[in-house]
Chains A and B, each alone.
Chain A
Amino acid sequence: MHPIVCPKNEVRRCTLPAGRSQAMSATKAFPVAGALPVDPDSGRETAPLFLSPAQAGFPSPADDYVDRKLDLHEHLVRNSASTFFLRASGDSMTQAGIRDGDLLVADRSLRPVNGCVVIASVGGELTIKYFVQRSGRALLVPANRAYPELDVTEREDALIWGVVTHAVHKLAPCPVGTG
């Protein structure tokens, strides 16, 4: 989890016998001399939609399966290992387009940037808010004027659980007098 106070400078335990860990700086990105297969920052699983560029002649039989239906899951989930679905409950984020009952897609692998929508754990409860850094303070800001901002800079019981990437909203029909 991300400590809210220091998103850029993650708390990191010292791990190896002295000497070895010295070489590792806390903010260093991970690439290890080209030894690793996946980009650690995004850690993304990507799959090309179209593999075979248009070409003349017979298509390769190996490409037979490339044309397939679009899968919405692919659009919503970039990193399946770290992406979770949750259900929104309440109206504190309505101005952000997140309404009661919406399906939330949260990716724990993403680093929270200033202004993004996050799921935070505050006082033992999961809540969804804007994450805002303002004059050295860490704030959880609702998208509804009826709710107050929450300053969590010094709160030990506040953590960022994950970054919300999508809200899936089911449309209801217009109640009366359509049009």
Chain B
Amino acid sequence: MPFTSSPRALWALVDCNNFFASCERLFRPDLVGKPVVVLSNNDGCIVARSNEAKILGIGMGEPEFKVRELLLMHEVAVFSSNYALYGDIASRVMRTLESIVPEVEQYSIDEAFVPLRGALAANAGEIADEMWQRVRRWTGIGVAVGLGTTRTLAKIASEKAKKGSGVCLLDAGPEADEILETTPVGDIWGIGRKSDLKLRSYDIYTARQLRDADGALVGKLLGIAGTHTALELRGIPCLDAANAPLPRRSMVSSRSFGEKVRDKQYLAEALAMHASLAGERLRKEKLEAGGLTVHIRTSRHGVEAFYDETASVTLGRPTSSSRDLIHATARGLEEIFRPGHAYAKAGIILYDLAPPGSRPGNMLDLVKPKSADGRNDSKLMRALDAVNKRFGRGMLRFAAEGKREAPWRVKSDRRSPGATTAWDELPVVKC
């Protein structure tokens, strides 16, 4: 258990408010104050809602046809997912944060953990304030900033911040007790439905009760992960990037290179590795991704020109096959790779995650087998995962392949323009 970190170190969690809906509003001031929803791939389910849409009672993940009347009645602005836009704006948000603090750990498409140590921790209030303000000003996206001595506390603080003034610090003391008391255990980061039920059966309903619960009991009920959560609630950091709970709706896999990379082939391989790892995690969580964003960039502090680009690839159909994901990363890289740069970091974000069969698909799903190129990968992936589980991760790997066209177009009738990603779809300004 790492007790070594300095007691004054803090974590900030920066979370974009209603991210997809906020992106849709960026160039559409007429939608400010109006209900906005975004639909998943193939226009199936609601994947994002503005506050106004939440108030109307439109549920997260609800199939569009079930709420169609409500949408029409209240003149809700309905958009198909525009992941090219979201990916670009998300990368702007991350870069804006990087202009304030040296280290930003993107957690999901619209959230980042920011470690604040030493002088940064001493000025955490001002820094959080500046992050809140600068991200909004530079990118047009509102954020909530939660501060806490652990990631779990920062996460809870960010939820409070969202409902309050935008920034919230969860420190020791009576204020923290109050916040933890009003946080249901089920809302704690990493406490799933099953754990929630178990805790409730032992009369543990709030984060404060879990924090103060007997450690042995928590260990018995929830295992090591639950023990970590309880300790984190006490302000003892136990989670790092590797063992933190996975985000629910998107998945990030990215890493800085040890040495600068100029070779396209090497970048492609690194991205294929990320795709393969993310695919494995997807299958473990029994999820499929609807699309992914490829991200490559040079060093901010290098001597050369700064290059930072993202490309989003919408998958022909949701998939958890590493093979499909690798193809998609290759296509994304093709779009954004520029020779001559010394790349420092590459990664991917998987988004539009949902369990297989949970979304209303298009009719082609009924007649075609799985996987984007018409092959069924599920057996192959099972075998792959079994081998890697037995002989160690990476024992069986893909030779990264070239690009391939998606055999059919994704249905997305209501997609907003590629306002930041396509020359012929730029937002229009009246003059």
Contacts and interface: CB of A to CB of B under 8 A. Distances in A.
Interface residues of B, number: 55
Given A17-B175, A33-B123, A124-B30, A81 B429 contact: no
Given A30-B130, A32-B126, A1 B140 contact: yes
Given A30-B130, A82-B96, A84-B420, A13 B138 contact: no
Contact of B125 (A2, A21, A34): A21
A40 interface: yes
A24 B125 contact: yes
B156 to A, nearest CB: 15
B56 interface: no
Contacts of A86: 27, 426-429
B140 A108 contact: yes
A95 B96 CA distance: 34
B95 interface: yes
Contacts of B175: 17
Contacts of A2: 137
B123 A35 contact: yes
B127 interface: yes
A91 B169 contact: no
B165 interface: yes
Nearest to B29: A121
A15 B426 contact: no
A89 B426 CA distance: 11
A88 B431 contact: yes
Given A24-B125, A126-B430, A38 B305 contact: no
A2 B134 CA distance: 11
Interface in A113-129: 119, 121, 124-129
Contact of A82 (B133, B139, B431): B139
B32 interface: yes
Interface string B105-148: 00000000000001110110111111011101111100000000
Given A30-B130, A82-B139, A127 B429 contact: yes
Contact of B306 (A12, A45, A84): A45
A36 B101 contact: yes
A85 B305 contact: no
A54 B341 CA distance: 23
A36 B165 contact: no
B99 A81 contact: yes
B258 interface: no
A173 to B, nearest CB: 21
Nearest to A28: B126
Interface string B65-100: 000000000000000000000000000110110011
The 8 closest A-B pairs by CB, nearest first: A124-B30, A82-B138, A15-B167, A121-B29, A81-B95, A35-B119, A90-B431, A32-B123
Interface of B: 27, 29-32, 92-93, 95-96, 99-102, 118-120, 122-123, 125-130, 132-134, 136-140, 165-169, 175, 300-301, 303-306, 308, 340, 342, 419-420, 426-431
25 contacts: A1-B140, A10-B133, A15-B125, A15-B128, A16-B125, A16-B129, A23-B126, A24-B126, A30-B126, A30-B130, A37-B102, A40-B134, A65-B340, A68-B340, A82-B139, A86-B27, A89-B428, A90-B430, A93-B431, A98-B431, A104-B429, A124-B32, A125-B29, A126-B430, A161-B29
